[in-house]
């Protein structure tokens, strides 16, 4: 009943539209034949040729631009979608498809229980690299303010800084004023979240190194700082890829989320290498930092 009505309405709509367009067409045709009697076919041909030629030129130009764009796309994307720092200038940043290891039960070296092997694996990612120096003329572009902590002129000047990505990896707590002087001792919390996992905590707490040398109250703040920095980074670069599902268990197939998915990743190792090569010296003289100058902001509390 409903279907019949729908079909009728639909047909009627079609008909009236069809008629309308027919009328329009015949109108144009009649006026055409009246006003422009047999406009030369030659000029029509000419226009067609011209049109096709410009199409070819446009296609050629498009292909050429496309090939150039392809070469420069990684550079463009890195420049467009990341905060500037000298790394972007010095490192040839490329994007490559990487398959994540999202295994549930097969643990890779980064997931091992507390101990020297897993510590070494994380260390190899550059999580405990020392700060680098950002030259004065790169500072503003890199988001550093003129009155932030500087290296004394006699040691070359510039701004001490840490690469965000490595900070996120090692979750370093940067107390600013003592970044360099006590750098290796109390302030660095290499992969603090991992070390604070309930099954790792006792091991690292007993070792009492890095963040674990602080009171439990401060340690707690360090841990939640790390968690929240990583939250913000994940939100900032929110991954719009999708996780499909796979079947497992041949005798009783069950759906399971496929965590081993593909991602477009920056060439981490080249960037890590830059951070390794640009580390400030291990032993920092006591007057390495330039003291705050007149007018420099000095916060009342740790920001």
Ligand X SMILES: *[C@@H]1O[C@H](CO)[C@@H](O)[C@H](O)[C@H]1NC(C)=O
Which residue, among 114, 109, 75, 119, has the nearest Cα to 95 in the 3D structure?
A: 75
- The beta-strand segments (E) located in the chain are 95-99, 132-134, 150-151, 159-161, 245-248, 254-257, 262-266, 289-290
CB 195 within 8 A of CB 214: no
Which residue, among 193, 173, 197, 194, has the nearest Cα to 185 in the 3D structure?
A: 173
For the beta carbon of residue 119, count every other beta carbon within 10 angstroms: 19
Q: Which is nearer to ligand X, 220 or 263 (CB)?
A: 263
The least CB distance from residue 243 to ligand X, in Å, is 13
The least CB distance from residue 107 to ligand X, in Å, is 6
The C-alpha atoms of residue 113 and residue 234 are separated, in whole angstroms, by 25
CB 272 within 8 A of CB 126: yes
Q: Which is nearer to ligand X, 17 or 108 (CB)?
A: 108
Phi, psi of 134 (to 5 degrees): -100, 120
Q: Which is nearer to ligand X, 90 or 239 (CB)?
A: 239
Q: Which is nearer to ligand X, 60 or 102 (CB)?
A: 102
* H-assigned helices in 91-207: 116-123, 136-139, 164-170, 192-195, 201-207
The DSSP secondary-structure symbol of 291 reads P
Q: Which is nearer to ligand X, 96 or 103 (CB)?
A: 103
DSSP-assigned beta bridge partners for residue 246: 256
Tokens of 229: 């920095």
Tokens of 195: 């070390």
The least CB distance from residue 109 to ligand X, in Å, is 7
Q: Which is nearer to ligand X, 108 or 213 (CB)?
A: 108
Q: Which is nearer to ligand X, 150 or 194 (CB)?
A: 194
- Positions in the binding site for ligand X (CB under 6 A): 101, 103, 106, 108, 260
């Amino acid at each position: 009943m409903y279907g019949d009505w729908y079909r009728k309405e639909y047909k009627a709509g079609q008909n009236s539209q069809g008629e309308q367009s027919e009328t329009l067409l015949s109108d144009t045709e009649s006026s055409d034949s009246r006003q422009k009697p047999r406009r030369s076919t030659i000029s029509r041909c000419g226009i067609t040729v011209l049109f096709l030629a410009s199409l070819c030129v446009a296609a050629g130009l498009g292909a050429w631009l496309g090939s150039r764009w392809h070469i420069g796309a990684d550079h463009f994307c890195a420049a467009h979608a990341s905060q500037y720092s000298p790394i972007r200038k010095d490192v040839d940043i490329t994007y490559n498809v990487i398959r994540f290891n999202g295994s549930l039960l097969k643990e890779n070296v980064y997931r091992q229980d507390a101990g020297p092997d897993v510590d070494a694996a994380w260390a190899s990612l550059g999580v405990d690299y020392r700060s680098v120096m950002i030259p004065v003329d790169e500072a503003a572009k890199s988001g550093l303010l003129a009155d932030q902590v500087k290296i004394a002129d006699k040691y070359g000047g510039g701004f001490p800084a840490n690469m965000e990505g490595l900070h996120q990896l090692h979750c370093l707590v940067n107390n600013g004023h003592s970044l360099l002087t006590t750098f290796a001792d109390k302030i660095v919390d290499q992969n603090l979240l991992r070390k604070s996992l309930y099954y790792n905590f006792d091991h690292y707490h007993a070792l009492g190194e890095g963040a674990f040398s602080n009171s439990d109250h401060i340690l707690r703040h360090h841990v939640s700082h790390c968690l929240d920095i990583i939250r913000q980074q994940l939100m900032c670069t929110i991954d719009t890829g999708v996780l499909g599902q796979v079947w497992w268990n041949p005798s009783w197939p069950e759906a399971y989320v496929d965590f081993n998915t593909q991602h477009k990743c920056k060439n981490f190792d080249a960037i890590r290498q830059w951070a390794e090569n640009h580390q400030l010296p291990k032993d920092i003289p006591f007057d390495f930092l330039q003291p705050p100058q007149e007018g420099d902001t000095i916060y009342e509390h740790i920001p």
